[in-house]
């Protein structure tokens, strides 16, 4: 029988005790958001501070949004060379894959998933409610909706450019009787935009910097920010920002307790010691050994039909997992998956050493679906060997986490192959740059 690894609610007292750099215990309550009175007063903020906000296409998932953050961070670095800009972190919520019923999952601040002081060691960031307190109210002076060029681009003639153009699609905003723009705004319905302009963009994130530096608006929002590309993908700037995206400590503690309890895995034994200051963490690849288990990310559901050529059947999946466990001499396999209940039951019946993180209802309310996903990724990141799903950003983020921890690339950049896939190209190794 597969191991039933349930949640870790009894560890919560310990968890809150060790997370000294985190918000107070009440901040961990479901639906908690910091009251305005606890935020810095506007008078204490530099008078010339300017605010950049952004959002992405609503269907985009948690892990693609993390990638967009890296692109926008590059833009902030470019802007900060000329003026004092701060990035307003877009609250999390209403994501397609967050489907746990009866749980409030909107207006979620970043500190519930990431260590905000670590982010601030890379670029200046604030939570959205701090922006509301500092700026004097729920107003965004300028909204730029980013879009492609209606005429597309000619092959072989790529150039970076940006132009104000008519909106190709109807913007997802309405105009109220006061001529303010109303929209989703991360679940903050009271927020209003004063001006809205559509921009056709083709290029890296910093291409928009001159426009922002020349606008008189103190607060600017970039909607559909996924249309901007990386300034320098996988370079030092990219990795500095990626390394700064440290998971919230309470989620890492839950993952570590789970590893120790069910997978005989600790940082000391696995050689995965973690420095709380990411700027001081520089690990040689191949140093980390990992826990005595196979880490698996198995994407199913929409990938079964959307990527049918490179996603294996359950039979093919079981065959590969069994082969790897034998090859790596491992008796346990940790599986992070969105598979339906019947598929999970079948996997558990055929994999005696299978372990999953199965949070209680209370824990799901506490960590949210995003936090549960992070715990899954953290556990996979510490495995002796990892195999993921083709073109899945969930797997990509695990690759990066293992690169930061110092694993041998051969134990990280692996994926399942489709049953009929003849040429099964493995993921590219993007080597960490310090």
Distances (CA, A) of 194 to 37, 176, 224: 26, 11, 18
Contact residues for 154 (Cβ-Cβ < 8 A; gap 6+): none
- DSSP codes, 45-61: S-TT-EEEEE---TT--
Residues 198 and 193: their CA atoms lie apart, in Å, by 14
Displacement of CA 207 from its chain's centroid (Å): 24
Exposure pattern of 106-141 as b/e (b: 16+ CB <10 Å)? ebbbbbbbbbbebbeebbebbbbbbbbbbbeebebb
The answer for 77, left when phi > 0, alpha when psi is -120 to 50, beta otherwise, is alpha
Distances (CA, A) of 197 to 120, 146, 194, 207, 222: 30, 9, 10, 17, 10
Distances (CA, A) of 221 to 124, 139, 189, 224, 394: 16, 11, 16, 10, 27
| Tokens coding 151 | 């005429």
Q: Alpha-carbon dihedral of residues 187, 192, 196, 202, nearest 10 degrees?
A: -30
66 closest CA partner among 396, 404, 433, 429: 396
- Does 60 qualify as catalytic in the annotation? yes
Residues 133 and 297: their CA atoms lie apart, in Å, by 41
| Tokens coding 158 | 């790529």
Residue among 26, 60, 276, 345 flagged as catalytic = 60
| Tokens coding 62 | 């948690």
- Just list the catalytic residues: 60
């Amino acid at each position: 029988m597969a191991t039933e690894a349930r949640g870790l609610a009894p560890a919560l007292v310990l968890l809150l005790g060790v997370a000294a750099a985190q918000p107070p215990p009440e901040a961990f309550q479901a639906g908690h958001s910091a009251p305005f009175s606890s935020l810095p007063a506007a008078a204490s903020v530099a008078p010339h501070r300017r605010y950049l906000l952004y959002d992405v296409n609503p269907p985009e998932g948690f892990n693609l949004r993390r990638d967009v953050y890296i692109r926008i961070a590059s833009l902030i670095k470019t802007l900060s060379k000329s003026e004092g800009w701060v990035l307003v972190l877009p609250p999390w919520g209403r994501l397609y894959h967050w489907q746990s019923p009866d749980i409030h999952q909107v207006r979620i601040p970043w500190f519930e998933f990431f260590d905000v002081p670590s982010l601030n060691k890379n670029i200046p960031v604030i939570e959205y409610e701090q922006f509301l307190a500092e700026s004097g109210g729920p107003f965004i002076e300028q909204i730029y909706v980013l879009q492609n060029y209606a005429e597309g681009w000619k092959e072989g003639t790529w150039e970076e450019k940006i132009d104000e153009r008519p909106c190709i699609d109807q913007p997802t905003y309405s105009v109220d009787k006061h001529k303010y723009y109303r929209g989703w705004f991360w679940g903050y319905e009271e927020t209003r935009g004063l001006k809205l302009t559509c921009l056709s963009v083709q290029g890296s994130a910093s291409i928009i910097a001159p426009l922002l530096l020349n606008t008189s608006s103190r607060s600017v929002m970039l909607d559909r920010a996924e249309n901007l590309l990386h300034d320098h993908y996988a370079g030092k700037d990219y990795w500095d920002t990626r390394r700064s995206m440290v998971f919230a400590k309470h989620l890492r503690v839950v993952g570590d307790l789970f590893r120790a309890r069910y997978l005989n895995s600790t940082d000391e034994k696995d050689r995965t010691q973690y420095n709380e200051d990411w700027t001081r963490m520089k690990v040689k690849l191949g140093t980390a050994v990992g826990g005595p288990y196979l880490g698996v990310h198995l994407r199913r559901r929409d990938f079964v039909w959307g990527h049918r050529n490179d996603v294996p059947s359950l039979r093919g999946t079981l065959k590969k997992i069994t082969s790897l466990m034998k090859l790596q001499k491992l008796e346990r396999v940790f599986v992070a998956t969105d598979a339906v209940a019947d598929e999970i039951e079948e996997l558990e019946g055929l994999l005696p050493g299978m372990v999953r993180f199965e949070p209680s209802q209370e824990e799901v309310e506490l960590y949210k679906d995003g936090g549960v996903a992070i715990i899954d990724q953290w556990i996979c990141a510490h495995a002796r060997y990892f195999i993921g799903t083709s073109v899945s950003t969930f797997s990509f983020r695990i690759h990066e986490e293992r690169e930061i921890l110092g694993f041998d690339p051969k134990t990280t950049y692996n994926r399942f192959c489709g049953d009929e896939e003849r040429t099964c190209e493995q993921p590219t190794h993007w080597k960490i740059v310090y």
